[in-house]
Amino acid sequence: MPDSAQSSVNGPLMQTQPYGVSPVSPPVSAPVAPASVPPPSVVTPAPISPAPVPSPVPQATVSAPAQGSLDQEDLTLLDTLISQNSLTPPQAVELKNRSALEGKSIEEILTNTKMLPEEKIAEAKARVLGVPYISLATTSFSPQAISLLPRAVVERFALVPFFYDERAQTISVAMANPVDLDAIEFVRQKTGMSVRAFAASPTDVQSAINQQYRQALVGEVGAAIKENEEFSGKKRVVDSTQIAQLIKEAPIAKIVSTILEFAVTSRSSDIHIEPQEDHVRVRYRIDGILSDKLSLPKNVQEALVSRIKILSDLKIDEHRTPQDGRFNFKIGNEEVDLRISILPTVNGEKIVMRLLRKSGGIPTMQDLGLNGLALKHLEDSITRPHGIILVTGPTGSGKTTTLYAILSKLNTPKVNIMSLEDPVEYQIAGVNQVQINTAIGLTFASGLRAFLRQDPNIILVGEIRDKETTDLALQAALTGHLVFSTLHTQTASGALPRLLDLGAESFLLASTITAIVGQRIVRKICSTCKETYVPSPQILATIKQILGPLYTSKDEDVRLYRGKGCNECGGTGYKGRVGIYEVLPVSDKIGQIILSHPDSVSIEKQAVLEGMTTMMQDGYLKVLKGVSSIEEVLRVAKE
């Protein structure tokens, strides 16, 4: 699900650059903003050595333009901005006048007054100068390029390298001033390579420097790769006995720990290490969406896989069957449990590492996005001494997190809480958490049976998916326990028909189930680059239709929100996640429906009559509040 979601979201589809392959066009990712940049292949990027590049070098007239006369560059910049519809002709005239009056260049005025976004100016300027433009927020950086230039150099010249072409011996550099010939020459001498200059906005360059040189994922991995090449360059053929030696070597260990550290600091839930034909792709799942972050040379693949196998106690010489393992990783005070899955693919063994954080606070129900009547109904039902509370939704909809939030609220020394999970994702002190292990017959059903002999008050069963577990859960609730579980259904109202399908007796359901939660999880708009816009009439009509009586705004006042994409959010426009919820209390009337004609439509209709806000309505309310975007809510609604 999340993979297909990736392409429908406005997130960057970052391109990973294979090493040693010369790209036909420069490695520029698709621009985020619509209608901004022409595809890079349209502008011919000139390789810059030794001939100085971008032709229209600043004229000698640059300094202070004489009163009333603008230099050629300024005029062309104005024309370009008009042709891009960034400025209207009257605005251009006004700018010309101001420029003449204040004796400042057009660019200066535009920048100082913030009349246009900095990226727009940089992009137009690039066109005037005949230099390709690059939007850095959506570019993936090559570790080797970063490792070629130290931070002091990039700071001094306000530039940042992002791509390195080994075969063509060129380095691609984004520059705040792409016609700074001194800088280009310096980089050429320092790296011994031809330089391809790209224009980028000064702010973009600075944040890219901060990010790339601080987060150290790309930088440190790059340095380690270089070290590793020096090491393995001596012996070109490495046999399996040498591999064991090689993987103990610092560089590979360093690459692995840097990859892990980045996962922790970037709030990733999974790391994918995927061998491709000519390179190894490293992707991270951040806020539920996979994103390309790193491209490693093919020659480190085997050592990398072996290193991870050693850490997780797996067979190094087994390359043909899938393997599972785990290990712990500590960064600062945070301890992370990693579950490793290795699967042979045609290009080599693919590794997925799932991060299970041991420490770190469990969010409250409010933190998760529960509020209003939904929160009240849920709180009412969890404070009863017995009954069943179900949480529904597809895989990855945050059901477990909701249950953890509930359990930690109920977790006091006075109650015995027992939970049966697969996997145990967080450890909660004071809760007896048991890991399912089907290999030895510890299933949800057998575990639940054992639980009932352990004098529990509150029981969590990770999932109900068969008759046996259903019956045991009902039994437990009838004998005075508070039971929590999850079900894979689209909506809260779908849970009751599902349990009947699994063979539950309708009168037992009506008397034991107290509340059903339906949920999805959406990404939150990045607060750093959040902006408002006026929705189209069609969108507004949909919002009004879905919200019905919950819609209380005046049409003309409605503004929606979106993230422009910045370095804070990796260019995606989103940072963090929040749930959208519906909480269905099983009232007397709904109990009667279960007994007579238990279809989900009638159940939902009755619940709405009794005041339930549906999941979609909750989503749209969060869109109106600017918590998430309409695209996000529509994306998860399809799940």
Q: Report the site for Zn ion in 434-453 (rule: CB under 5 A).
A: none
How many chain residues interact with Zn ion (CB under 5 A)?
Answer: 7
15 touches Zn ion by CB under 5 A:
no
Distance between CA atoms of residues 184 and 178, nearest Å: 8
- Give the length of the chain: 639
| Angle between helix 615-624 and helix 537-547 axes, rounded to 10 deg | 130
CB of 456 or CB of 563, closer to Zn ion: 563
Q: Smallest Cα–Cα separation from 37: which of 152, 204, 191, 161?
A: 204
Which x/- pattern over 201-240 shows residues binding Zn ion (rule: CB under 5 A)? ----------------------------------------
CB of 134 or CB of 584, closer to Zn ion: 134
Least distance (Å) from Zn ion to the CB of residue 291? Answer: 14
Q: What is the dihedral of CA 66, 69, 75, 78, to 10 degrees?
A: 90
CB of 498 or CB of 530, closer to Zn ion: 530
Least distance (Å) from Zn ion to the CB of residue 563? Answer: 5
CB of 11 or CB of 132, closer to Zn ion: 11
Q: Which residues pair with 580 in a beta bridge?
A: 520
Which x/- pattern over 471-510 shows residues binding Zn ion (rule: CB under 5 A)? ----------------------------------------
CB of 218 or CB of 529, closer to Zn ion: 529
Ranges of beta strands (E only) in 482-546 are 482-487, 513-525, 530-533
In contact, 416 and 511? CB cutoff 8 Å: no
CB of 347 or CB of 528, closer to Zn ion: 528
122 touches Zn ion by CB under 5 A:
no
Least distance (Å) from Zn ion to the CB of residue 615? Answer: 26
| Angle between helix 118-129 and helix 72-83 axes, rounded to 10 deg | 120
Distance between CA atoms of residues 396 and 480, nearest Å: 31
Which pair of tokens denotes residue 396? 């990855």
Cis-peptide, bond into residue 143, ω within 30° of zero:
no
Q: Give the interface segment with Zn ion, choosing from 21-29, 473-481, 509-517, 523-531 (CB under 5 A).
A: 523-531
Least distance (Å) from Zn ion to the CB of residue 241? Answer: 49
CB of 207 or CB of 587, closer to Zn ion: 207
CB of 127 or CB of 530, closer to Zn ion: 530
CB of 11 or CB of 161, closer to Zn ion: 11
CB of 392 or CB of 572, closer to Zn ion: 572
528 touches Zn ion by CB under 5 A:
yes
Which pair of tokens denotes residue 234? 């001596």
| Angle between helix 89-102 and helix 72-83 axes, rounded to 10 deg | 160
Distance between CA atoms of residues 236 and 469, nearest Å: 58
Q: Nearest to Zn ion by Cβ — which residue?
A: 526
Q: Is 475 exposed, middle or buried (0-12, 13-18, 19+ CB in 10 A)?
A: middle
Which x/- pattern over 549-578 shows residues binding Zn ion (rule: CB under 5 A)? --------------x--x-xx---------
Least distance (Å) from Zn ion to the CB of residue 37? Answer: 18
Least distance (Å) from Zn ion to the CB of residue 2? Answer: 20
Half-sphere exposure of 375 toward its Cβ, with a 13 Å CA cutoff? Answer: 13
* Cβ neighbours of residue 479 closer than 8 Å, sequence gap 6 or more: 452
Start-to-end CA distance of the chain, whole Å, equals 7
DSSP single-letter state for residue 367: T
Least distance (Å) from Zn ion to the CB of residue 567? Answer: 7
Q: Report the site for Zn ion in 529-548 (rule: CB under 5 A).
A: 529
* Out of 526, 583, 615, 630, the residue judged to bind Zn ion by CB under 5 A: 526
Chain positions contacting Zn ion, by CB under 5 A = 526, 528-529, 563, 566, 568-569
